[in-house]
Amino acid sequence: MPSVYIKTYGCQMNERDSEAVAAQLVARGYTLAKSEAAADVVLLNTCSVRDFAEQKAINKMQNIVGTARSEKRDQIVGFMGCMAQSRGRELIDQLPDVDLVLGTQKFHRAGEYLDALLSGTRHQIVDVEAEAKSEAAIREHLLNGKAKSSVSAYVSIMQGCNQHCTFCIVPATRGEERSRSIPDLVAECRELAASGVKEVTLLGQIVTSYGKREQREAWQSRPPQSAADASGDEGEAVADQTPVAGRMSPFVQLLDAVHAIEGLERIRFTSPHPKGYGDDLVEAFARLPKLCESAHLPLQSGSDRILKLMHRGYTGEKFLSIAQKLRRARPGIGLTTDIIVGFPGETEEDFEQTLALCREVEFDNAYIFKYSPRRDTPAAAMADQVPLAAREERNQRLLDLVNGIAARKYEAFVGRRVQILVEGPSRKNGARFTGRTRCNKIVLFEGDERHRGQLMEVKIERTGSFTLYGDPAIHL
């Protein structure tokens, strides 16, 4: 049977999509190759978030095609994912040896298309059309076939995003928000728990908007029952980001349903939007013990002026109040963020506001990005693009600040006992095992295979760069 090698660029959503494609191909009889040179089929699952990521994938493909040609090997090669979606046929015009371009709503067609290409019944396929219900097709897992442990798993709950932040290409590459149903997701999580998975991470481009579009459409399509309904008042209330008293957002309903699954010990989610942290979600952190005390809160900027230009829909003050509420609901919660420096029009004063907010919130970690214009996004056409030198300088200052705060936070763990879920051997040092705290910090310890999959306590003895070192033999 043909062998396949999938290389993934970008975020966890892409990792999950690659896993689902690999599982689909294995179910059809394909084997997983250990390297691209040994594979009959090579697929690059691409990312469009930064120009650099796109360029890397294109260079990689040129390299693969060139090597196969010089070694006189027949190989089917394809792009899939975000760049495949945004560039489509243009990729084949640029690289005529590419056989397949598979968009973000077409992952489930990978097997059928590859079979056709391998058998020669088709020659070059580009499919980037929208397809209804494709979000529900990212379902199969490869628990025992992947190098990583099967202790934790990603579950794709939705696709797309309607927020249209002005710097972001995701709405163009992933389309409108589309959510899977709660029963379907619960069934998938149950199957994972039955096969030994202890931790699930619910994934989507904007998970806190999970189910809102479907809820809104359901309300809008029901026959009017009262004067208020006929005027659309109720529909408006449901469409609001903040749930009315006593009503849980679909995302919190999903968290409740997954929480009830026996065998699952931990639940995480990413990526949320700060606007989605309504009181019901904050309260869920206090109420649901399996929901880990770890939250990602993408700030992007501390300046209200820049947040407005970014179309983020919150202010610095609102953001701070969400962080404070989360800390009250779950003391010790780990908070991480994403920040863009040098967004068009960002002045030194705007940037100072970002620094001030970071000092106030004290994130456990921050992913900092120098603004990079993406084609077809409103921000790329904005005036006052910030020169690269200024972006780099701000990037370094912010990095110094967040690293200093994070180092203090990590240092505070020394001497404490924490619960970890052991994932498997460390990638860098096979003699060490790696686990994750509930607040999402990596812990390395001298372990062995018998620890894999265990929830265990370790005592933290020292820290490294964004790593804790623990001792599993606890002496009281």
Nearer to ligand SF4, 272 or 316 (CB): 272
Between residue 262 and residue 291, which ones bind ligand SF4 under the rule CB under 6 A? Answer: 273
Answer for which of 84, 170, 200, 368 binds ligand SF4 (CB under 6 A) is: 170
User: Listing from the earlier edge strand, what are the strands of the sheet with 294-296?
Assistant: 294-296, 334-341, 365-370
The distance of closest approach from Cβ of residue 166 to ligand SF4 in the complex, given in angstroms and rounded to an integer, is 9
Specify whether the CB–CB gap between 225 and 232 falls below 8 A: no
Nearer to ligand SF4, 28 or 311 (CB): 311
For 82-137, give the DSSP string.
HHHHHHTTHHHHH-TT--EEE-TT-GGGHHHHHHHHHHTS---EEE----TTGGGG
Q: Is 379 in the site for ligand SF4 (CB under 6 A)?
A: no
Answer for which of 89, 133, 164, 247 binds ligand SF4 (CB under 6 A) is: 164
Near ligand SF4 by CB under 6 A, which window of 166-174, 195-203, 229-237, 367-375?
166-174
Nearer to ligand SF4, 206 or 420 (CB): 206
In whole angstroms, give the CA distance from residue 280 to residue 252: 7
b vs e for 226-265, b when ≥16 Cβ sit within 10 Å of the residue's Cβ? eeeeeeeebbeebeeeebeeeebbbbbbbbeebbebeebb
Specify whether the CB–CB gap between 25 and 4 falls below 8 A: yes
CA angle 51, 53, 54 (to 5 degrees): 65
The distance of closest approach from Cβ of residue 170 to ligand SF4 in the complex, given in angstroms and rounded to an integer, is 4
Q: Is 163 in the site for ligand SF4 (CB under 6 A)?
A: yes
Q: Is 165 in the site for ligand SF4 (CB under 6 A)?
A: yes
Binding characters for ligand SF4, 197-226, by CB under 6 A (x = yes): --------xx--------------------
Specify whether the CB–CB gap between 109 and 127 falls below 8 A: yes
Q: Is 322 in the site for ligand SF4 (CB under 6 A)?
A: no
| Cβ neighbours of 282 (radius 10 Å) | 19
Q: Is 161 in the site for ligand SF4 (CB under 6 A)?
A: yes
Q: Is 168 in the site for ligand SF4 (CB under 6 A)?
A: yes
Near ligand SF4 by CB under 6 A, which window of 40-48, 164-172, 196-204, 225-233?
164-172
Near ligand SF4 by CB under 6 A, which window of 124-132, 163-171, 215-223, 259-267?
163-171
Nearer to ligand SF4, 192 or 299 (CB): 299
Backbone angles phi, psi at 324, to 5 degrees: -65, -40
End-to-end CA distance of the chain: 56
List residues near ligand SF4 by CB under 6 A.
Answer: 161, 163-165, 168, 170-171, 205-206, 273
